[in-house]
């Protein structure tokens, strides 16, 4: 009994230490972090994201890139936190022997790296050595959602970039498009998210395309969108270029991926899906709250990280 009490005490102290570290990190973040040191940052991000999204003709065109940036951010934050580790290339001279880009869920799948590079180049010209790649990715993600008619969310800035990458964690922690509901809930819970936040964040699938290898067999007829990567399918075939609540419409029958369809398999979550289908405002409010929370997962601040000069390699 005594040893059990001692173990419980150690566990409590460990959790308390994590909470204090998290609070300390967030205490160094601010929505106005770059107001003095890089006042043109927001405009630079907005202009570059706009170029990336609207330079190509429909169908989808560059708007697919908006969904890709959002997915890139998610895949970064789910591995080591929002630290730009997903942007790192293999670089033996810097000790990066394995890249997260080459992990199973990411290889030949993640896009948007060149958009981050373009923003970083402009930012370095205006404010050299000031803005982290992790903040650039966070800002670009919000701007992409807003540009596609979605909702903004409060964004704290001041992140630092990781000096490491973690391919094994990318392989183990990123949920699969074929995941069942229990697997999805467990994966999100490990990052601090509830099942209801999982449903809200899944609304990101209201834009973008999926490789046909990941499509639920019942929806294979939707694999008709020609791309440079071959035929793909729109995750939301009603309004694929617009960030809205159409994804939730008849999700149990029309969800493109298994991980979409299973969200309706539990009564309380099915009710949440139906509420989002009926009210875009309800979806936007919950999505914004969940994205703010996502953007603060595992952030590095101060001497815990660095401001990379090149987003693809550590300094």
Q: Is 161 annotated as a binding residue?
A: no
The answer to the question of whether 112 is labelled as a binding residue is no
Tell me the C-alpha distance between 256 and 254, whole Å.
6
**Which residues have a catalytic role annotated?**
75
79 carries a ligand binding annotation? yes
**Looking at the DSSP assignment, which residues form a beta bridge with residue 227?**
230
Task: Give CA–CA dist 48/118, Å, rounded.
Answer: 7
DSSP result, 128-180: TTTS-HHHHHHHHHHHHHHHTT-------B--BB-S---HHHHHHHSPPTT--
Give exposure, 24-37, as e/b (b: 16+ Cβ within 10 Å): ebeebbeeebbeee
Query: How far lies 145's CA from each of 18, 130, 153, 207, in Å?
Result: 31, 25, 10, 9
Has 56 been labeled as part of a binding site? no
Cα–Cα dist 198/228, whole Å: 31
Q: Does 298 count as an annotated binding residue? A: no
According to the annotation, is 109 in a ligand binding site?
A: no
CB 123 within 8 A of CB 46: no
| Residue 81 labelled as part of a binding site | yes
| Residue 92 marked in a binding site | no
249 annotated ligand-binding residue? no
124 is in an annotated binding site: no
Residues in the annotated binding site for heme b: 205
Residues in the annotated binding site for Ca(2+): 76, 79, 81, 83, 85, 100, 206, 236, 239, 244
Residues in the annotated binding site for substrate: 175
Residues in the annotated binding site: 76, 79, 81, 83, 85, 100, 175, 205-206, 236, 239, 244
């Amino acid at each position: 009994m005594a040893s059990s009490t001692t173990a419980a005490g150690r566990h409590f102290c460990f959790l308390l230490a994590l909470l204090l570290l998290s609070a300390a990190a967030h205490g160094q973040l601010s929505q106005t972090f770059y107001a003095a040191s890089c006042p043109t940052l927001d405009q630079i991000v907005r202009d570059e994201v706009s170029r990336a999204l609207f330079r190509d003709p429909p169908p989808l065109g560059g708007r697919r890139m908006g969904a890709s940036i959002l997915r890139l951010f998610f895949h970064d934050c789910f591995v080591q936190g929002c630290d730009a580790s997903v942007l790192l290339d293999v670089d033996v001279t810097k000790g990066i022997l394995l890249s997260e880009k080459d992990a199973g869920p990411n290889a030949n799948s993640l896009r948007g790296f060149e958009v981050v590079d373009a923003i970083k180049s402009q930012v370095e010209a205006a404010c050299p050595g000031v803005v982290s790649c992790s903040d650039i990715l966070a800002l670009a993600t919000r701007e992409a959602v807003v540009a596609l008619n979605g909702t903004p969310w409060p964004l704290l800035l001041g992140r630092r970039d990781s000096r490491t990458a973690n391919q094994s964690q990318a392989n183990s922690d990123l949920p699969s498009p074929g995941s069942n509901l229990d697997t999805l809930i467990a994966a999100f819970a490990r990052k601090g998210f509830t099942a209801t936040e999982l449903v809200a964040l899944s609304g990101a699938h209201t834009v973008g395309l999926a490789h046909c290898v990941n499509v639920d067999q019942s929806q294979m007829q939707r694999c008709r969108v020609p791309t440079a990567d071959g035929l793909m399918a729109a995750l939301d075939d009603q309004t694929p270029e617009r960030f809205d609540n159409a994804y939730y419409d008849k999700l149990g029958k029309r969800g493109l991926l298994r991980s979409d369809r299973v969200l309706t398999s539990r009564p309380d979550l099915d009710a949440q899906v139906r509420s989002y289908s009926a009210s875009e405002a309800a979806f936007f409010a919950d999505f914004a709250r969940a994205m703010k929370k996502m953007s603060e997962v595992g952030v590095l601040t101060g001497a815990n990280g660095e401001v990379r000069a090149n987003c693809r390699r550590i300094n």
